[in-house]
């Protein structure tokens, strides 16, 4: 067993019936999270920056919107990735290879190394503080410059030590001890600490008042089946409590849907998009896109969930039968922002914004059918074979009765 140290962790874990009590949201941002629907692409690095060399972690960039910091270990540097655009962030500022990188919104930058040290710097590169440990570091997470977490382990103990740094110079800290062997950590947006291990994923609540960590959730085991793990080196949690795990030795990504209470998996060993070789870092953005440090393949991959197909809904459909030869029909539906329509089997119209209703005039007497497919802003369309279809009949206008001719 190895002892673990933790500088504030947001640990990726699967919650149960305790979710509501523990402030863990139960609903995902998407309708369902099924890792089998993920599509993957490689985030290509420009030639000016050269190739990645064993990127070991990826973490949110507190100084940019939707950005990440990538610890490019064997190139001895940290890169920034924002909207698939790479830029240089920092050279290695202390001895060793960068295993984890983090920053704060008020301008501090932290690096954890393979020499069991954590350095704190200004983003200009000025020294702020240094923590020198004796155990292997397995994570680094900054909530703020006064709330920084990390975890370390060694092989001689069945317990681990969790560290919370409360000043950016890393000089003021609190230690917690757990009977775990963590291989990764993170902190949820609700402040819960999540640990990934060679067996279960754990969630802990930090009780600052008595300097203790309270176990609030535990899921999974060691193995190769879905919901089992092979010493995962990366974990992340989103705003809805969904968990994302870089399942390192199983060469895949696993996702826990907090609403459904289920794990799904994506990937296998290999070098094609959607395949992995010893993935060690994982992060998720506000849109639910997954970023993975695919360490053995020297790259970062981005995974996107397939959006649920929208379904158009219609209001203002004429009653049937009707003598009205006009209609104004409004299109709506969840996530529907545009639509196409076909009247009486004609070709589909061009895409129309839902703010514009379908206006029909001079309808002939007889039967009519209207088919509509809805589309999302991202270009996902309702299948034509599953179009929303309505039908009605237009009757001929009523004929006024012929008046009787009266004779005197």
- For residue 25, the model assigns a pLDDT of 42
- Of 389, 385, 384, 340, the closest CA to residue 367 belongs to 389
Radius of gyration of the chain, Cα coordinates, nearest whole angstrom: 28
- Of 156, 210, 161, 221, the closest CA to residue 185 belongs to 161
- pTM confidence score: 0.73
Condensed to tens digits (0 to 9), the pLDDT of residues 104-117 reads 999 999 999 999 99
Inform me whether the pLDDT recorded for 339 exceeds 70. yes
Residue 20's pLDDT band (cuts 50, 70, 90): very low
Inform me whether the pLDDT recorded for 126 exceeds 70. yes
Residue 26's pLDDT band (cuts 50, 70, 90): very low
Residue 123's pLDDT band (cuts 50, 70, 90): confident
Average pLDDT over all residues of the chain: 88
Average pLDDT over residues 383-398: 93
Inform me whether the pLDDT recorded for 154 exceeds 90. no
* 387, 375 contact by CB (below 8 A): no
Query: Could you tell me which residue, 301 or 211, shows the higher pLDDT?
Result: 301
Residue 404's pLDDT band (cuts 50, 70, 90): low
List beta partners, residue 220. none
Inform me whether the pLDDT recorded for 298 exceeds 60. yes
CA 385-387-392 angle, to 5 degrees, is 120
The encoded tokens of residue 364 equal 């002939």
List beta partners, residue 129. 120
- For residue 254, the model assigns a pLDDT of 97
- For residue 333, the model assigns a pLDDT of 92
Q: Which one-letter DSSP state was computed for residue 349?
A: P
- For residue 3, the model assigns a pLDDT of 39
* 182, 196 contact by CB (below 8 A): yes
Q: Using DSSP, state whether 350 is helix, strand or coil.
A: coil
Average pLDDT over residues 5-23: 36
Inform me whether the pLDDT recorded for 67 exceeds 90. yes
Q: Using DSSP, state whether 95 is helix, strand or coil.
A: coil
Condensed to tens digits (0 to 9), the pLDDT of residues 72-107 reads 999 999 999 998 999 999 998 889 999 999 999 999
Condensed to tens digits (0 to 9), the pLDDT of residues 224-246 reads 999 999 999 999 999 999 999 99
Contacts of 51 (CB under 8 A, 6+ apart): 45, 298
d(CA 157, CA 346): 74
Inform me whether the pLDDT recorded for 19 exceeds 50. no
Contacts of 300 (CB under 8 A, 6+ apart): 42, 43, 52, 55, 58, 70, 81, 291, 292, 293, 294
Inform me whether the pLDDT recorded for 14 exceeds 70. no
In percent, the amount of the chain with pLDDT more than 90 equals 75
Average pLDDT over residues 137-151: 95
- For residue 335, the model assigns a pLDDT of 80
Region for residue 274 given its phi and psi (left: phi exceeds 0; alpha: psi -120 to 50; beta: otherwise)? left
- For residue 309, the model assigns a pLDDT of 76
Residue 377's pLDDT band (cuts 50, 70, 90): confident
Q: Using DSSP, state whether 193 is helix, strand or coil.
A: strand
Inform me whether the pLDDT recorded for 9 exceeds 70. no
């Amino acid at each position: 067993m190895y002892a673990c140290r933790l500088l504030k962790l947001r640990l990726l874990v699967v919650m149960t019936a305790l979710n509501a009590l523990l402030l863990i949201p139960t609903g995902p941002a998407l309708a369902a999270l099924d890792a089998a629907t993920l599509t993957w692409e490689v985030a290509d690095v420009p030639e000016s920056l050269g190739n990645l060399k064993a990127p070991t972690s990826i973490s949110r960039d507190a100084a940019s919107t939707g950005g990440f910091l990538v610890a490019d270990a064997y190139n001895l540097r940290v890169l920034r990735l924002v909207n698939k655009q790479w830029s240089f962030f920092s050279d290695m500022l202390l001895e060793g290879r960068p295993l984890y990188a983090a920053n704060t919104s008020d301008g501090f930058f932290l690096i954890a190394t393979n020499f069991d040290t954590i350095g704190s710097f200004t983003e200009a590169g000025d020294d702020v503080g240094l923590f020198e440990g004796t155990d292997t570091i397995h994570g680094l997470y900054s909530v703020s410059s006064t709330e920084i977490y990390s975890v370390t382990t060694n092989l001689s103990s069945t317990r681990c030590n969790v560290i919370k740094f409360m000043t950016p110079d890393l000089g003021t800290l609190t230690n917690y001890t757990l009977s775990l062997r963590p291989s990764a950590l993170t902190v949820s947006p609700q402040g819960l600490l999540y640990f990934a291990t060679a067996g279960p994923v754990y969630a802990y609540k930090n009780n600052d008042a008595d300097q203790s960590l309270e176990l609030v959730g535990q899921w999974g085991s060691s193995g190769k089946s879905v919901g089992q793990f092979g010493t995962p080196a990366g974990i992340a949690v989103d705003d809805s409590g969904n968990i994302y795990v870089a399942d390192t030795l199983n060469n895949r990504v696993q996702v826990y849907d907090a609403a459904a209470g289920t794990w799904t998996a994506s990937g296998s060993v290999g070098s094609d998009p959607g395949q992995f070789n010893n993935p060690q870092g994982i992060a998720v953005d506000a849109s639910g896109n997954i970023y993975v440090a695919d360490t053995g393949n020297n790259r970062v991959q981005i995974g996107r969930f397939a959006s649920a197909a929208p379904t158009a809904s219609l209001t203002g459909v004429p009653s049937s039968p009707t003598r009205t030869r006009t209609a104004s029909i409004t299109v709506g539906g969840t996530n529907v922002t545009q639509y196409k329509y076909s009247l009486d089997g004609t070709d589909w119209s061009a895409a129309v914004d839902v703010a514009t209703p379908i206006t029909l005039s001079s309808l002939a007497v007889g039967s009519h059918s209207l088919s509509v497919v809805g589309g999302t802003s991202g270009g996902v369309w309702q299948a034509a074979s599953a179009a929303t279809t309505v039908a009605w009949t237009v009757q001929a206008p009523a004929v006024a009765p012929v008046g009787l001719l009266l004779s005197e």
